[in-house]
Amino acid sequence: MVIQNRAGDVLVEAGRYLGHATNNVAEYGGLIGCLELVKPMKAESLDVYSDSELLVRQVQGAYRVKKPHLKELHGQVLDMIDDVGCRFQIHHIPREKNRVADGLARRAIHLRSDIHGPVESPRGQSG
């Protein structure tokens, strides 16, 4: 997760270790983690960008949630969005525009623990 303010300043970089999970469960876990981090910030608005088309379309209501385990996570996300109490939008982006968040997730998997802070990019530079 990469949380930025409107000016593009990075406020938080974090990765969650979820153990053994499907990609879809991991995407929901990332969104849940983001919402947990954002809530105390009392933001006026929240724009989420994800490379998971399924997650984005399900949260937007364009796709039905068919699998029972995803229905539970979907319901949790919708409740959390209400709890955050700000304008919320979610957008789909290509995977190549999500490299930092993807790197954080991969690092959490490699370390088998939650992480906070910058991660080295594939070329050894943060970002």
Return the ∠ at Cα 113 (arms to 86 and 121), rounded to 5°: 80
Query: Model confidence over 21-42: pLDDT tens digits?
Result: 899 999 999 999 999 999 999 9
pLDDT at position 19: 86
Return the ∠ at Cα 3 (arms to 79 and 33), rounded to 5°: 40
H or E segment at 111? helix 99-111
Instruction: Give the strand pairing for 45-50 and 87-92.
Output: parallel
Q: Is the pLDDT of residue 48 over 50?
A: yes
Task: Tell me what the pLDDT averaged over the chain comes to.
Answer: 89
Q: What is the homologous superfamily of the domain 2-116 according to CATH? A: Ribonuclease H-like superfamily/Ribonuclease H (3.30.420.10)
Q: Identify the weakest region by mean pLDDT among 1-5, 13-17, 121-125.
A: 121-125
Determine how many CB atoms are found less than 10 A away from the CB of residue 117.
11
Query: Model confidence over 74-124: pLDDT tens digits?
Result: 999 999 999 999 999 999 999 999 888 888 888 888 888 888 865 443 333
Determine how many CB atoms are found less than 10 A away from the CB of residue 86.
13
Where are the domains positioned within the chain? 2-116
